[in-house]
Amino acid sequence: MNNENVKTADNADMNHQAVPMSAQEIARAVIDRKSLFILDVRNADAYADWKIEGTQINSINVPYFELLEGVESVLPLLPDNSPVLVVCAKEGSSKFVAEQLVDAGRDDVHYLEGGMKAWSEHLEPVKVGDLKDGGELYQFVRLGKGCLSYMVLSDGEAAVVDTLRMTEVFEKFAKEKGARIKHTLDTHLHADHISGGRKLAEESGADYWLPPKDADEVVFSYNPLEDGQTLTVGNTEIAIQPVYSPGHTIGSTSLVVDDQYLLSGDILFVASIGRPDLAGKAGDWAGDLRSTLYETYRSLSEELTVLPAHFGQLSELGEDGRVSAKLGDLYANNPGLNMEEETTFRQAVTTNLPSQPNAYQEIRRTNMGLIQPDDEEQREMEIGPNRCAIHDK
Amino acid sequence: MNIDVRVDTKGMACPMPIVKGKKALDGMQQGQILELLSTDKGALNDFQAWVKKSPNEWISHEESNGVHRFLIRKG
């Protein structure tokens, strides 16, 4: 275990001012399991709902408005030999508190640049592996919300799967790779985050694909993503094969990429399985979820590497922050795949479910094109964890 | 309701709305009413939580065209 500190002041001068720390630096700290102490100065409700977590990250919550008279009360709560990162919603209050800590004589004080807003929107690209004919597959890890997007690259072309709202990240990445985005695909109509698939397709002249059974109410045109098609990326024809796999939603469609990878959307996660209730039809969809997980996926190769659209716990992050597992290993270890009795399964996926993702109904309506919230509203809607798995908290 | 002190923090980001509000309240007499205007959405929850912990009394909050108007009685 690496216990070295995230960032220590390089010189004496730095000790005498609050130093900004970027969301990317914190992402690396979480992934590399470095120790960091966080003083979160948002209000108690915001902290209870959602905070920065990591195996070596400790945090306490003291709202900034309790520190207006001075920070003396909080000084004894801060560890002596670790950097302290002050965090708030948008930056202003954390900088305010961090500067007071420095004035009070505390060393190695940082504040989160852009606040939790920046943390929520940060995407960390992680290479999953090479494709047989020379292409590459990348996973984009959104640590702040537990969302995962994918980019398939081959021969100057790219396809992006389950694109997040921050489309510029994908555009920039594709550009750096010298690739033109040809397809954007959503494995299902998302309820926890706002899809960037349609926007990215418009901006890059790509085709946008969505499962038609999830698109009953959408008000835009799209390409129907259906079982039996093959989409290609690059001249080498990296195949993306859709597999109809309902359960989380009625349209949920998984993608087999290059006969090696199973992009499972919100059907199968590393430590859990998808919840069938976010469109209000848990009872109807539980049976679909059962047959997808216990029949359709069973018929696929156990050697496939499962790449889900979410993670729920930090323990699901592997080396370099990658979230993946062999399908065969999940059949051995994932509790959602080991409920022999159908009644047990039905009960597990329809009762005692975690609370729904923040603003999930508005998010679904946004993804259908029925409402057009502005950027600020979209950001607010996405606050908090994804809560798409039955075992989430 | 008679407003005794008005503080306009429109356009200011956290923590300024609360810093200014607190400063105004510090200089007010018990029972006087403060009106604070803010365009910072986040200020609402923070302000409520802060007033709750202080001897002051929360009277009301309303929003129109993105401007939040808080009324607080000095305690």
Q: Using one digit for the tens of pLDDT, what is the confidence trace for A268-291?
A: 999 999 999 998 888 889 999 999
Range of the domain at B18: 5-73
Total of domains in chain B: 1
Is a pLDDT exceeding 90 seen at residue A16? Answer: no
Region A124-381: CATH code: 3.60.15.10
> Complex ipTM, two decimals?
0.90
Looking at residue A10, its pLDDT comes to 47
**What are the beta bridge partners of residue A154?**
A157
User: Are residues A65 and B45, on separate chains, in Cβ contact within 8 Å?
Assistant: no
User: Of the candidates A46, A66, A380, which has its C-beta nearest B53's C-beta?
Assistant: A66
Residue of B nearest to A42 (CA): B46
The residue ranges of every structural domain in chain A are 12-119, 124-381
A191-205, A231-245, A356-370: which has the minimum mean pLDDT?
Answer: A231-245
CATH topology for the A12-119 domain: Oxidized Rhodanese; domain 1 (3.40.250)
In whole angstroms, give the CA distance from residue A339 to residue A330. 13
For the sheet with A19-21, list strands across it. Answer: A19-21, A109-112, A84-87, A36-40, A57-61
* Residue A237 pLDDT level (bands cut at 50, 70, 90): low
In whole angstroms, give the CA distance from residue A354 to residue A269. 16
List the CATH number of the domain containing B52: 3.30.110.40
CA-based nearest distance B3→chain A, Å: 24
Average pLDDT across chain A, whole number: 92
CB atoms within 10 A of CB A230: 11
Looking at residue A376, its pLDDT comes to 86
Looking at residue A12, its pLDDT comes to 44
User: Are residues A92 and B50, on separate chains, in Cβ contact within 8 Å?
Assistant: no
Kindly report, residue by residue over A116-160, the tens digit of the pLDDT.
999 999 999 999 999 988 899 999 999 989 999 999 999 999 999
Q: Which positions of A are annotated as active-site residues?
A: 88
Kindly report, residue by residue over B11-53, the tens digit of the pLDDT.
998 899 999 999 999 999 999 999 999 998 777 888 888 898 8
Is a pLDDT exceeding 60 seen at residue A1? Answer: no
- Cα–Cα separations (whole angstroms), residue B55 to A64, A160, A300, B51, B70: 17, 54, 65, 7, 16
* A6, A79 contact by CB (below 8 A): no
- Cα–Cα separations (whole angstroms), residue A196 to A168, A221, A267, A315, A368: 10, 15, 20, 27, 12
**What are the beta bridge partners of residue A242?**
A255
Set of chain B residues whose Cβ sits within 8 Å of the Cβ of A45: 45, 49
In whole angstroms, give the CA distance from residue A139 to residue A199. 19
Kindly report, residue by residue over A377-386, the tens digit of the pLDDT.
999 899 888 8
Residue A138 — left, alpha, or beta (φ > 0 → left; ψ -120 to 50 → alpha)? beta
User: Of the candidates B14, B41, B49, which has its C-beta nearest A93's C-beta?
Assistant: B14
Looking at residue A6, its pLDDT comes to 52
